[in-house]
Structure 1
Amino acid sequence: MPIESTDRSADAHPPISNEKLPMAALLALATAVFITSLTETLPAGVLPAMSGSLHVSESAAGQAVTVYAAGTALTAIPLTAATAGWRRKRLLLTAMAGFAAANTVTAVSSTYPLTLISRFVAGVAAGLAWALLAGYARRMAPAQLQGKAVAIAMAGIPIALSLGVPAGTFVGQALGWRVAFLIMTGLTLVLLGWITAIVPDHPGQRSQERPRMLRALATPGVAPVLFVTLVFVLAHTILYAYIATFLTHVDMGKSTDLVLLVFGIASLASIWFTGVHIDRRLRTLTISSVLLVGVAAAILGVLAHTSALVYLAALLWGLGWGGVPTLLQTAAADAGGAAADAAQAMLVTLWNAAMAAGGIIGGILLDTLGAVSFPWSVLLLLVPGLITVVGARVHGFPAKRPGAAA
Structure 2
Amino acid sequence: METVTHAPSRIATETGRRLPIATLIVLASIGFVLVAMETMPAGLLPVIATGLRVSEGTVGLFVSMYALGTVIVTIPAISVTRAMRRKPLLLASVAGLALANSATAISSDVTLLLISRFVAGAFSGIIWGMLAAYGRKISPPRHAGLALSIVSTGAPVGFALGTPLGSWLGATFNWRLPFVGLTVVALLAGVFIALVSPDAEGQRGKSRLPVARVFRIPGVATILAVIFTWMLAHNTIYTYIAPYLRAAGSGLTPDVQLFIFGVSSIAGIAVTGAFLDRHPRPLLHGSVAVFIAAGFVLLFGHASPPAIIIATVLWGLTFGGAAAQLQAALTSAGGQDSDVANSFLPVAFNIAIFVAGILGAALLTRFDGLVLPVVMIGCGAITFLLTIYGRRSAFPSRL
Q: TM-score, normalization: structure 1?
A: 0.84
1:90 corresponding residue in structure 2: 88
Segments of structure 2 that go 5 or more residues without pairing to the other structure are 1-5
The Cα offsets for residues 211-270 of structure 1, whole Å up to 9 and x where unpaired, read as 433333333333221211111112222222343565566678994332222111111111
1:198 corresponding residue in structure 2: 196
Q: Which is further off, 324-333 or 373-382?
A: 373-382
Aligned residue pair count: 394
1:388 and 1:155, CA in 2 relative to 1: closer, same or farther beyond 3 A?
A: same
CA distance in 2, matches of 1:335, 1:90: 25
Identical columns (%): 36
Match of 2:145 among 147, 171, 180: 147
Aligned partners of 1:72 and 1:352 also within 8 Å: yes
The Cα offsets for residues 90-133 of structure 1, whole Å up to 9 and x where unpaired, read as 22122112212222233344455444332221111111111222
CA distance in 1, matches of 2:22, 2:64: 33
1:183 and 1:340, CA in 2 relative to 1: closer, same or farther beyond 3 A?
A: closer
2:357 corresponding residue in structure 1: 359
SS of 1:350's partner is helix
**1:286 counterpart letter in structure 2:** L
Q: Which is further off, 231-240 or 38-47?
A: 38-47
**1:349 counterpart letter in structure 2:** V
Aligned partners of 1:45 and 1:257 also within 8 Å: no
Aligned partners of 1:107 and 1:182 also within 8 Å: yes
Q: How does 1:4-403 map to 2 (within 5 A)?
A: 15-50=13-48, 53=51, 61-110=59-108, 112-244=110-242, 246-247=244-245, 255-304=253-302, 306-337=304-335, 339-366=337-364, 369=367, 371-398=369-396, 400-401=397-398
**1:276 counterpart letter in structure 2:** A
Aligned partners of 1:334 and 1:340 also within 8 Å: yes
RMSD: 3.2
SS of 1:353's partner is helix
CA distance in 2, matches of 1:292, 1:51: 39
- How far does residue 58 in structure 1 lie from its aligned partner after superposition? 5.5
The Cα offsets for residues 349-400 of structure 1, whole Å up to 9 and x where unpaired, read as 22232223333434444556565543333233222212222233333235x2
Segments of structure 1 that go 5 or more residues without pairing to the other structure are 1-7
**2:330 counterpart letter in structure 1:** A
Aligned partners of 2:222 and 2:386 also within 8 Å: yes
1:323 and 1:120, CA in 2 relative to 1: closer, same or farther beyond 3 A?
A: same
The Cα offsets for residues 299-326 of structure 1, whole Å up to 9 and x where unpaired, read as 4445445443332232121012001111
SS of 2:354's partner is helix
1:63 and 1:358, CA in 2 relative to 1: closer, same or farther beyond 3 A?
A: farther
CA distance in 1, matches of 2:320, 2:231: 12
CA distance in 1, matches of 2:364, 2:104: 24
1:15 and 1:47, CA in 2 relative to 1: closer, same or farther beyond 3 A?
A: farther
**2:176 counterpart letter in structure 1:** R
SS of 1:280's partner is coil
Q: Which is further off, 351-360 or 267-276?
A: 351-360
CA distance in 1, matches of 2:126, 2:226: 23
